[in-house]
Structures are given as C-alpha cells and as structure tokens.
Amino acid sequence: MATAYARIRLILAAIGLLLVVAAPVAAQQPNSVNPTASAVKEQQLLQQNYRIQGLGSIPDVKSYVIEQPMGRTWRLFHEVWLHWFGAIIILGVIAVLLVFYLMRGLIRIDGGRSGRMIPRFNSLERVTHWMTAVSFVILGVTGLNITFGKDLLLPLIGPDAFSRWSIMAKYAHNYSSFPFMLGVIILFVLWVKESIFTAVDIRWFMEGGGMFGHKHPAAWKFNGGQKVQFWGAALGTIGVAGSGLFLLFPFYFTDIYGMQIAQMVHALIAMLFVGLIFAHIYIGSLGMEGGFEGMATGEVDLNWAKQHHLLWLEQELGQGRTAAPPAGATTRPAS
C-alpha cells in the first residue's frame, strides 16, 4: 500500500513539474509565429477572386499578376462542374426526348399525305439552314471533345490518335465558327419578322402545341415552339459567338480573368444550345412525319401544312400559291 502511495506522489510531482516548465513556454506563444493563423491568412489571400498583383516596369501589364487564385476556381469549373452540368443537360434532354417518343411516338399526318405539295422554304433559306446546321454539328462535336474527350475518347483511341484528333478538332472548331455565325445572322434577317410572338402563339402554348393528344392548334409560318427555338438560337449565338471571339483572340479584349469568364460563359451556353438543338433535330426528323421535307426539298405536304401551320397555309393559298402534286406522285384529295 505504501508503495502505491509513493508511486502516486511521484506521478503528481512529475505532473506538477511539467506544468511549471510548460507555463512560461505557453506564455511565450502569442509573441511567436502562429502557423495556424498564417494558414488562415494565406487561405484568405488565395480566395481573392481576382488576382494578386505586383508592380512591373515592362509594358505588358498582364505580367504584373503574380498569382491568380481564380485559376483554381476556373479549373474546378472546367474539370468538374462543367462535366456534371453538360452531362445532366445532354443526357437529360435525350432522356426526355426518349420518354416523349415512347409515349407519343411519331406525330403522323392525321389525314395521311394528300400528295399535293406547297413551297415552304426557298433555296436561300435551305442552303443557309444547312450551312448553319452542319457548322453547328462540327462545333458541337469538337467542343464536346474539349470537355468530355479526355474522359471518353482518350481511353478508347489512345494518346497519339487523341492528340491528333484534338488538334484537328480545335482548328475545325475555330474555322467552322465563321459559317455558323454568318448563317445565324442570315437566318435571323430572313425569319425575324415571322418569329415575333403573337396571341396565336399563346393559344398554341396553352394547347400544348399539339404535342399531346390529336388536337393541333393553328399557327402561322412558325409556331410557338419554333419561335422559342429561333430566339433561343439567336440569343445562344450571341452568347457563344461573343464569348468565343474573346477566346479566339486571346488578350486582345481582356485579361486572363476575363478570358476565364468568357470560357465559362461559352461552355455553359454551348451546353444549353446543344440541348436545344437536340430537341430541334428530334422534332424535325424522328418526331414528326413530313416535317423534314420542308428543309430537304423546300416543299411540304398540304395536309401537313393544314395540321401544323393552318394560318400560314391559308395565307399562302390566299396569295395564289398553288399546291401542286409532285412529279410522278399518286394524288389523294386533301382532307
């Protein structure tokens, strides 16, 4: 028992001695460097969104930037957030279209084809449309390669082929941007008058655009959905073309921070644009019978026009345009 008490006294004495020695050391801490506090300051410094800038004597002001913490945020956006955003938009649109197709199927011409065709788009409209469309596909594929190629394509084709494809894709992206911008400008001029929303479009939207059920609301040359597509494409082009020019001419108009913002704007709008065009391609091909012909041949079936663009058809017929049967076609009366 005595031995146990002796051991306890020894331990208490050791603790007391430790406190006596440690107290002055602890008291000195505020006067020394506190690594934790420094880390906090550094973190605050790195979280500055703009830049840490010094002074310089050479003409290039952008060289004065010593550190650019925004670069970390931009890299996180480019490598993580954009992947998620793009995947959700693109796969989401595809899923919605798939579900819609499974539920609604092909939107057929209710009365069948009449065999009588009426002109819908002239040569200038069709050539410009296809110039814009093919340019967009090139821009979309090569642009998505920048975001997803490293994850999806590189493992499949290897680094050499991926490098060469990416170099080619980068130049194709740059050069096809010019016909795309030109095409959108021409189409805007050609179609803006017919793309202004009217009360007819409100009724079109209220009736679901004829997408559900078999009732087809009347529309002029372009229905409400096509007008949404038109203005979406116009505004989307302003967004991607404006930001794209910043990227095409680095440091001409802005500094590195501005270019990072331009790239983020460019990528986000481009992803939304791809989703919009997926829906456009679907309804113009798989989704609707007779819809593709307007852009393929320039003419549409009379019954198709009656079903989807009744007001426009009446206007066209009223102006004396005839609905002639195509050469060699068997004619059925228009219902």
Partner 1 sequence: MRAFLLGCFAILVVGAAGYFVLDALQQPSGAAYTTDGARIDPSWSWRQTATAAQPCEPRRVWQWIFVDFRHPNGEPRICADSQ
Residues of the shown chain interacting with partner 1 in the complex, contacts defined by CB under 8 A = 58-60, 62-63, 123, 126-135, 138, 163-164, 167-168, 171, 174-179, 182, 248-251, 295-296, 298
Q: 293 is written with which tokens?
A: 């012909």
Shortest Å distance, C-beta 106 to partner 1: 23
Shortest Å distance, C-beta 234 to partner 1: 19
Shortest Å distance, C-beta 244 to partner 1: 12
Shortest Å distance, C-beta 179 to partner 1: 4
Contact, 143 vs 244, CB < 8 A? no
Shortest Å distance, C-beta 243 to partner 1: 17
Calpha distance 160→171 (Å, rounded): 17
Shortest Å distance, C-beta 126 to partner 1: 4
Task: State which residue, 182 or 324, has the beta carbon closest to partner 1.
Answer: 182
Task: State which residue, 90 or 133, has the beta carbon closest to partner 1.
Answer: 133
Task: State which residue, 68 or 307, has the beta carbon closest to partner 1.
Answer: 68
Task: State which residue, 132 or 263, has the beta carbon closest to partner 1.
Answer: 132
The CA-based angle 256-257-261, given to 5 degrees, is 115
Helix (H) or strand (E) holding 119: strand 117-119
Q: 128 is written with which tokens?
A: 């410009």
Q: How many residues are given for the chain?
A: 335
Shortest Å distance, C-beta 257 to partner 1: 15
The CA-based angle 148-151-153, given to 5 degrees, is 80
Task: State which residue, 179 or 239, has the beta carbon closest to partner 1.
Answer: 179
Shortest Å distance, C-beta 247 to partner 1: 11
Give the pairing of strands 65-67 and 52-53: antiparallel
**3-class secondary-structure state, position 82:** helix
301 phi, psi to nearest 5 deg: -70, 145
Task: State which residue, 132 or 226, has the beta carbon closest to partner 1.
Answer: 132
Calpha distance 263→241 (Å, rounded): 11
> Taking Cα atoms as reference points, which of 210, 123, 62, 132 lies closest to residue 219?
210
Q: 313 is written with which tokens?
A: 């058809």
Task: State which residue, 62 or 75, has the beta carbon closest to partner 1.
Answer: 62
Task: State which residue, 259 or 268, has the beta carbon closest to partner 1.
Answer: 259
Calpha distance 101→110 (Å, rounded): 17
Transcribe 162-190 into DSSP letters.
Answer: HHHHHHHHHHHHHHHHHHHHHHHHHHHHH
Q: Position 231: which residue type?
A: W
Shortest Å distance, C-beta 59 to partner 1: 4
Contact, 50 vs 255, CB < 8 A? no
Calpha distance 40→47 (Å, rounded): 11
Task: State which residue, 41 or 164, has the beta carbon closest to partner 1.
Answer: 164
